Amino acid sequence: MPGLGTSFGRGGATTAQQDLANSDAILIMGSSMAENHPVGFQWVMEARNKGAKIIHVDPRFTRTSAMADIWVPLRAGSDIVLLGALIRFVLENKRDFREYVLHYTNAPVILRDDFQDTEDLEGVFSGWNEAQKEYDFETWSYRGAPTVPGAKVHGGHAKDRGGERSRECIYDRDLTLQNPRCVYQVLKRHFQRYTPELVEQECGIPRRIFEELAEAFCSASGPEKTAAICYAVGWTQHSDGVQIIRSAAILQLLLGNIGRPGGGILALRGHASIQGSTDIPTLYDILPGYLPMPYFDGDSGSLEGYLKRHTTACGWWSNFEKYAVSLLKAYYGDRATQDNDFGFDWLPRVTGDHSHLGYWLEMDKGNVEGLFVMGQNPAVGAPNSGLERKALAKLKWLVVRDMVETETASFWLDSPEISSGQLRTSEIDTEVFLFPAAGHAEKNGSFTNTQRLLQFHEIAVHPPGDARSETWFMYHLGRRLKEKARANPSPRNAGLNALTWDYPVEGPVAEPDAEAVLKEINGWTTADRKLLSSYRDLKADGSTASGCWIYTGVFPAPNENKARRREPKGRYGHGWGFAWPSDRHILYNRASARPDGQPWSEKKKLVWWDAEKNEWTGYDVPDFTKNKPPDYHPPADAKNDDALAGDKPFIMHPDGFGWIWVPSGLKDGPLPTHYEPLETPLKNRLYPRHATDPGANKLENPENPYANSPDPRFPYVLTTYRLTEHHTAGGMSRYLSHLAELQPELFCEISPELAGELDIHNGDFVTIVTARSSIDARSLVTARVRPIQVDGRVIHQVGLPYHWGYKGLVKGDVVNDLIAISEEPNVRIMETKALLCNVFRRENGRDPQKYSRDGEREIPEASAESEAA
Amino acid sequence: MNALFQRWPVIRQLLHGGDGTGPEAMSDATKSLRPRNSGAKVARSICPYCGVGCGQLVYHQDGKLISIEGDPQSPISRGHLCPKGAASYQLLTHSQRATKVLYRRPRAAAWEEIDLDAAMDMVADRLWESRERTFVEAKDGRRVMNTTAVAHLGGATLDNEENYLIKKLFTAGLGMVCVSNQARI
Amino acid sequence: MSDTSKSGERHSHIDEAREARLLEIRRQAALARLASQPGDGADGDLVPHASPESGYYGRPLLKRPQWTNEIPLYFFCGGAAGAAAVIASAAKLAGTDPRLIRDARYLAAIGGAISPALLISDLGMPSRFLNMFRVVKFQSPMSVGSWTLLVFSGSAAAAAFLSAWQRQPRGIFKILQNAGEFISTIAGPVVSTYTGVLLGATAIPVWNQNLSVLPLHFATSGMAAAAALLELRGHDSRALNTVGIITALGETAIGASIEIRRSPVSKPITSGRIGWLARAAGILAGPVPLILRLLASGGNQSRNIKLRKIAAASAVAGSLASRLAWTRAGIGSAQDTALLLNASRQ
Amino acid sequence: MSVTAFLTDSTLCIGCKACEVACKEWNQIPGDGFVWSGLSYDNTGGLGHATWRHVKFVENGATPGVGGNSPENFSWGFSSDVCKHCENAGCLEACPTGAIVRTEFGGVYIQPDVCNGCSYCVVACPFGVVDRDETDGRAFKCTFCYDRQKEGLAPACATACPTESIKFGKLDDLREAAHDRVEELTDAGFRDVQLYDPIDSSVGGIHAFFITRGDPRTYNLPPQPQVPTVYLRKGWISAAISSGLMIAAALVAFAGNRKS
């Protein structure tokens, strides 16, 4: 979560869904919240009924727009232009929450003189290495902050992305904000060209509407008011997704909307435990609690180097060692000792891009032997899924665990590649296992929801037949492997032999006790297994173990599983589940009080300093050291949290500030910059020489080709999205009659104008073609999709929901076949929200003979038409 | 006999009046009608679909699911569910659910059912062999200790405990670094 | 909220040029037959419009009658049977040919026996036909009809059976026979006419608009059919011929009135295939037999008999066809959403 | 037992169809077929034997800067339809078997163990709600979750509705609430808001009323629904006269033709 992580310190939504009810304005952008999070949307409706302005920015008029006061259609992929212009609007019109900005953000901090902006270097910041395609970000540091040469940003999800080259706790500030090198001035200059005119030209948003939007949002911010921003994958699935979120973070910091009731940035997750699966990651680049994985290069040769590199001098991450060692103790138990660096050397090193997209291309080259797929369906849900399916055929063996026979499990039997003859069942050597999985009511366990809330779900009935939980599968697989390792104590098996795997099992199928696992995650003292109630109790000497330090406190006593609590109390329902960290629902809530500790306003009070009790108190658990007074000033030699003054709410950051400027930790710049999508119909009028995000990886190859920008063969902008009635790749919806009947067929939304040009009637079968592939869909011709007028041209946009596949009660072509495998620099996510396509009307209904993706025959004439438009 | 006679609504009409639209026309089944989940056991659960995290009440009796509805106590969902959440009962009970381990041999054109334990042994063997074959302990003198030839995908739909065991066994135990899921930003 | 409306005014003239252009393209699309016909679902251009005039994409507001052809057939049988009972008793009073009386009773009895069979076979759950007698509901024509039919079938059967069993029944049998004859004569007309109310007292416009005509129509065509069937059975009686003439006159009048009082509501019975079926039925039941019977008053007996037989056949066909037409008309009528939404306005 | 009702407030409906699904899940209704209609996002078409709650989608042009919640423009309307549980219910009166009854909560309930599928209720409903399942044979419609109400539970649809656009409660309270809500919205500038509750028609008001934006007819809600019983009197009089005429005609015919 680098977008939120670098800006505020933690990679999680800063607020809670219920808190939206306290907002005076809500900007929903990069999300159709009413459609994809309907129950969460009830809080937006509540705010609306209280008079809050609801603003929805989306290329299409969706069910969310239908509930909004203002709908702002924009060209897909132009988000940073709009957000940058909002930032400029705030700065030019002095609408920023000055006292908040001065004390709680790094806006006054002075930057180095040798830093150069994208405005100076035509689209890149200083430090760009064209040959290596990466930044040396030394010049991004604060002035006077010593730096450690030679280190390297790895990007990714880790707490700091390997970025501590500078010591951000050392800085000079100019509280007048006049110094031309202070962040505030640099920011102002960086966005000077992001004018309403530019918005009109690039986003296609008329000036009046932009001004109304800006006015509505800014006038709902300040001491008496707060505004919130909600986003989802409509922002993240861009080649500059992290920077879009950064823009929102900057805007919210300038307006003083972070850490305050009704403010914040709410990242809306699409799965029950998306947040959980990054907190306790099944990701390659981090360990639980956002601790970075050891890297082959850099300083991960030894525990010492690893700790030295990631431990900050001040701020919360100065406790890094405690969390790292406690994790190793949780993993390797008694065999992890001071002498063997707590088994650090047993951990594998990251030697490259092992993300889904990265290793899948290796798989395509035949470099992967075996694959486990659990509760995911890449044959439908992953970009360029045609390539993904073909890569599956190169495996020696494949294990799929799901509640149904997914497209992934049966790629060898009835995938489009089989019917088209690109693959032959009789030639696919892959051994495939399909294990039936248990459903949520058939096992104990906890989900972490979109607002970092751990909620336990109890078993109601046993799963049918041989269906089992992943807990069961992993435990019993591990048992077998540990037996093999015991028989063969070679160095490579040392870690496996040391691995603690003694979970109690119960019942006829020997189901491991999920709560026992949660206790290990929570952590205990290694001596007497006493459960810990706070990560403050974690030690670096091996006397404590904790599987995920941010979750410590969820299971403080043998019979006290807080994720299982069901007694909500107070404004945020404390007593229902457990919000990490330490049951704090609104993060950085120290910022809801003035520097002197008193609320900004009675209306917006949340957490404040109680002078009598000498502690922070309020409606939420203070996200701050409880007894650190507001006027505390650290002595010169202070370390870690004590080095942060009493008015520094962003305690994870070494300087305690909210980061308008990110000195380290991002691979593509300290400030967001508008880059075009990897496929775009327009030139980048701001930075012609660096049109797209310099750090983005196109992974271009014959199997994963791109259109030119612009490309007469692919004149229209394609954007993909979800429907309320279905769930992602469909494994949990297309097999259910009650859901399948509600959206039984793949359709594509096009405007009446485009339909007119292409002579397409509502309901016609159309073929959508991209540089990768082509699919068929029914056309839904609707005025909810509008051509965008940018740069004096009309840009047509085409919308496609992506839920269908070749299994289930309702079938349809796989939309993700159209998407390119590409990687955003920081988190390696693909770009699904803005690419180029062409559309044709099927003459006689569905035609099995697809348009070839490079079929020159029909494509040019179609583009001729669109030029005429 | 008389009782039987009494149960004929026409007689009730004659005796007690009524135009045939009220209680006199109700059958015994109607009179004794009760909600399906009446008196059933209930488990506190959480919706498995999106990230909102709605509370669910899962009603069950004698090891059978009876119904699933929203948990009115939840401070997030206040008892409401969206269409997907509302379909949770069908999600768990629909006929297309996989309940047996299916195995496809190399080049085979069809699934075959196999025994769960046997399947577990087979998977353990495959995993072990692939790891043995492809494990790298060191590269130019520096520690590597990983295999990039066995990969994992998935997790955002799983429980925290499950993700923990996956990362612990696969990465910390076996040295698998290719571990990934849906989650990104 | 006030500022929203203010901003609304601001919107009203935002980039008019583009708005105008979009509207123009939509207008063009409309002209180019891509215009959305309400209810044409997935083959218009735009998603079709829902409007107060067309309703929700012109989707049916009412559910179409789900009756199968057994129902019109039952209307015919029941109607003829009921009328036959009347004819039988009238004939008995007039002391005419006992064979005619007996056949009329048989006709009533047979009709009274077939009718329930037809009704039951139309039920979604025939096994539950007895539930028809769970309650008595005077507000439900279907309930009243079921009970009446029960009474009629029973009495008609008794009357016919006894008249067949004993030439000159005595004692208890005599009483039973008279009772049966009397009851069936009273219930008969109800059976013939209530079906008009059954159709009329529904939400289907074309039916409830013709509420007062339907019972009369079903009465006349029932009489016509009964008389005609007896004639075809070989009874060449002046009385039956007179009935034929009277009913033919009636049917002609009714048919004419429907043709004259055309209205949007009666469209389903006056236009389209059903319209023609109804028209044909009217002609077969009215003018045709009327003319034939008048022609049959000439000298040549055998020719007259032949003509009257043809007239009879025509009347039967007409009676059957009109029942079919009326039930079918209900289907079209239920689909006419625009009419229901707007007609009911006035 | 107090009389209960639905208030479906379309101005709060987000068109998510949770009501449709929750209803089907609770009442264990089979699927309604997989047909894509092309009518906006509505693929279940309307109420029927297998759809007891149904969300209608009405599209209008969308204008930049104006969301569906603005008084100026109502761009995408959603309205969840359901059996109206009429005060004077056509189906209830028409049912010959007494399968349809008025419950103690004022709802109209089809007893599945009694209905014999005569389908007379189908043509008796002025809202086109009741529908006979041709495979099963019986007629079905919303039960108002009679089973749930018996234990004080709210109907499944109202329980699920994420935005509480479907309200369930005492008839009188809700009717009042409905009028207040319409007033509130009108004051807020939403001049096109209307309450659909044909209380002055022969139906005599309904137990499931609707707040819509724009003309309710757009959502197939008839302005003047008639309960068919209003036709009975006229009908029976005509039937009596016709019967008399039959007898008269017969007597005349035979009286004029005595012969032995």
- Residue C252 sits in a domain of what CATH number? 1.20.1630.10
Q: Is A214 on the interface with C (CB under 8 A)?
A: no
**What is the CATH code for A688-868?**
2.40.40.20
Q: Which residues of B touch C150 (CB under 8 A)?
A: none
Q: Is D110 on the interface with B (CB under 8 A)?
A: no
Q: Do B19 and C133 touch (CB under 8 A)?
A: no
Q: Which residues of B touch D157 (CB under 8 A)?
A: none
Q: What is the mean pLDDT of residues C299-303?
A: 86
One-letter amino acid identity for A446?
Answer: S
Q: Do C137 and B10 touch (CB under 8 A)?
A: no
What pLDDT does residue A154 have?
62
DSSP per residue, B45-62: EE-SSSTT--EEEEEEET
Q: What is the mean pLDDT of residues A336-360?
A: 95
Report chain B residues touching chain C, CB-CB < 8 A.
8-10, 13, 19-21, 24-25
In percent, how much of chain A has pLDDT > 90? 86
Mutate to test the interface with B, among D3, D14, D17, D21 (most CBs of B within 10 A): D21
Q: Are residues D120 and D70 in the same domain?
A: yes
Q: Are residues D128 and D211 in the same domain?
A: yes
Q: Are residues D162 and D254 in the same domain?
A: no
Chains contacting C (3 or more CB pairs within 8 Å): A, B, D
User: What is the β-pairing status of strands A53-57 and A765-769?
Assistant: unpaired
- Give Cα D65 distance to the centre of its chain: 36
Closest Cα in chain C to A71 = C11
Whether omega for the bond prior to residue C169 falls within 30 degrees of 0, making it cis, is no
* B10 closest CB neighbour out of C136, C138, C139: C136
pLDDT, tens only, B46-57:
999 999 999 999
Q: Which residues of A touch B130 (CB under 8 A)?
A: 369-370, 396-397
Q: How far apart are CA C126 and CA C123, in angstroms?
A: 5
Min Cα distance B175 → chain D (Å) is 45
- Chain A and chain B share a number of CB contacts under 8 A equal to 509
CATH number for D97: 3.30.70.20
Q: Is B83 on the interface with D (CB under 8 A)?
A: yes
Strand order in the sheet with A227-231: A70-72, A53-57, A25-29, A227-231, A265-267
Q: Do C62 and D126 touch (CB under 8 A)?
A: yes
Q: Which of C116, C346, C89 is nearest to C226 (CA)?
A: C89
Q: Is B113 on the interface with A (CB under 8 A)?
A: no
pLDDT, tens only, A130-189:
999 999 888 998 998 877 665 666 656 665 544 454 566 788 999 999 999 999 999 999
- Chain A and chain C share a number of CB contacts under 8 A equal to 58
pLDDT, tens only, A457-486:
999 999 999 999 999 999 999 999 999 999
- The H or E element spanning position C163 is helix C141-165
- Three-state secondary-structure class, residue A522: helix
- The H or E element spanning position A328 is helix A320-332
Q: Do B130 and A371 touch (CB under 8 A)?
A: no
What pLDDT does residue A298 have?
72
Q: Is B86 on the interface with D (CB under 8 A)?
A: yes
Q: How far apart are CA A66 and CA C259, in angstroms?
A: 50
Model confidence at C166, in pLDDT bands (50, 70, 90)?
Answer: confident
Q: Which residues of A touch D77 (CB under 8 A)?
A: 66
Supply D68's token pair: 């569906």
Min Cα distance C128 → chain B (Å) is 14
Chains contacting B (3 or more CB pairs within 8 Å): A, C, D
Instruction: Confirm if A66 and D57 have CB atoms less than 8 A apart.
Output: no
DSSP per residue, A26-90: EEEES--HHHHSHHHHHHHHHHHHTT-EEEEE-SB--TTGGG-SEEE---TT-HHHHHHHHHHHH
Q: How far apart are CA C330 and CA C324, in angstroms?
A: 10
Closest Cα in chain D to A780 = D38
Q: Do D111 and B20 touch (CB under 8 A)?
A: no
* D67 closest CB neighbour out of A68, A724, A738: A68
* Cβ within 8 Å of residue D184, ≥6 positions away: none
Look at residue D174 and tell me whether its pLDDT is greater than 50. yes
Q: Is B94 on the interface with D (CB under 8 A)?
A: no
Q: Which residues of A touch B178 (CB under 8 A)?
A: 284, 354, 359, 368
- β strands within chain D, DSSP E: 4-9, 53-59, 76-82, 100-102, 108-110, 131-132, 139-140, 166-170, 193-196, 208-213
Q: What is the mean pLDDT of residues A225-233?
A: 97
Domain count, chain D: 2
Specify the domain boundaries for CATH 2.20.25.90 within chain B.
41-93
* B145 closest CB neighbour out of A17, A346, A728: A346
pLDDT, tens only, B149-163:
999 999 899 999 999
What helix, strand, coil percent values describe chain C, rounded to 5? Answer: 75, 0, 25
Instruction: Confirm if C153 and C112 have CB atoms less than 8 A apart.
Output: yes
Mutate to test the interface with D, among A49, A75, A725, A741 (most CBs of D within 10 A): A741
Domain of D202, in residue numbers: 4-226
Q: Do B92 and A441 touch (CB under 8 A)?
A: yes
Window from A576-590, A674-688, D66-80, D177-191 with minimum mean pLDDT: D66-80
Q: Do A517 and B161 touch (CB under 8 A)?
A: yes
Closest Cα in chain B to A351 = B144
Q: Do D116 and C83 touch (CB under 8 A)?
A: no
Asked whether residue C259 is domain-assigned, the answer is: yes
CATH 2.20.25.90 assigned to domain B41-93? The reply is yes
What pLDDT does residue C8 have?
33
User: What is the β-pairing status of strands A566-569 and A574-576?
Assistant: antiparallel
Q: Is A272 on the interface with B (CB under 8 A)?
A: yes
Q: Do D162 and A743 touch (CB under 8 A)?
A: no
Model confidence at D257, in pLDDT bands (50, 70, 90)?
Answer: low
Supply C170's token pair: 């005595």
Min Cα distance D150 → chain B (Å) is 7
Q: How far apart are CA B120 and CA D14, in angstroms?
A: 46
Q: Do A783 and D59 touch (CB under 8 A)?
A: yes
Window from A50-54, A298-302, A429-433, D18-22 with minimum mean pLDDT: A298-302
Angle, to 10 degrees, between the axis of helix C213-232 and the axis of helix C171-200? 130
Q: What pTM, to 2 d.p., does this model score?
A: 0.93
| CA–CA distances in Å: residue D14 to residues A36, A57, A68, D166 | 11, 17, 11, 11
Asked whether residue C37 is domain-assigned, the answer is: no
* C201 closest CB neighbour out of D136, D229, D260: D229
Instruction: Confirm if A732 and B91 have CB atoms less than 8 A apart.
Output: yes
Instruction: Confirm if D121 and D259 have CB atoms less than 8 A apart.
Output: no
Q: Is B118 on the interface with A (CB under 8 A)?
A: no
Q: Do D147 and B27 touch (CB under 8 A)?
A: no
Domain count, chain C: 1
Q: Is B154 on the interface with A (CB under 8 A)?
A: yes
- β strands within A120-165, DSSP E: 128-129, 134-135
What pLDDT does residue C29 have?
44
Which ipTM was obtained for this model? 0.93
pLDDT, chain A, mean: 92
* A465 closest CB neighbour out of B99, B108, B176: B99
Tell which B residues from 52 to 111 touch A, by Cβ distance under 8 Å: 52-56, 58-60, 63-65, 68, 73-78, 80-85, 87-88, 90-92, 94, 96-111
Q: Are residues D174 and D47 in the same domain?
A: yes
Instruction: Confirm if A518 and A561 have CB atoms less than 8 A apart.
Output: yes
What pLDDT does residue A124 have?
97
Min Cα distance D257 → chain B (Å) is 46
Q: What is the mean pLDDT of residues A432-439?
A: 98
Model confidence at C97, in pLDDT bands (50, 70, 90)?
Answer: confident
Indicate the domain borders of chain A: 2-267, 688-868
Beta-carbon-side half-sphere exposure of residue D222 (alpha carbons within 13 Å): 32
Q: How far apart are CA A638 and CA A633, in angstroms?
A: 10
Q: Which residues of C touch D215 (CB under 8 A)?
A: 52
Beta-carbon-side half-sphere exposure of residue A3 (alpha carbons within 13 Å): 34
Beta-carbon-side half-sphere exposure of residue D101 (alpha carbons within 13 Å): 24
Closest Cα in chain B to A809 = B96
Q: Do B20 and D98 touch (CB under 8 A)?
A: yes
Q: What is the mean pLDDT of residues A420-437?
A: 96
Window from A303-317, A601-615, A846-860 with minimum mean pLDDT: A846-860
Q: Do A547 and B168 touch (CB under 8 A)?
A: yes
Residue A593 is classified by DSSP as: B
One-letter amino acid identity for B119?
Answer: A
Q: Which residues of D touch A48 (CB under 8 A)?
A: 69
CATH 3.40.50.720 assigned to domain A2-267? The reply is no
Beta-carbon-side half-sphere exposure of residue A578 (alpha carbons within 13 Å): 24
- The H or E element spanning position A401 is strand A397-402
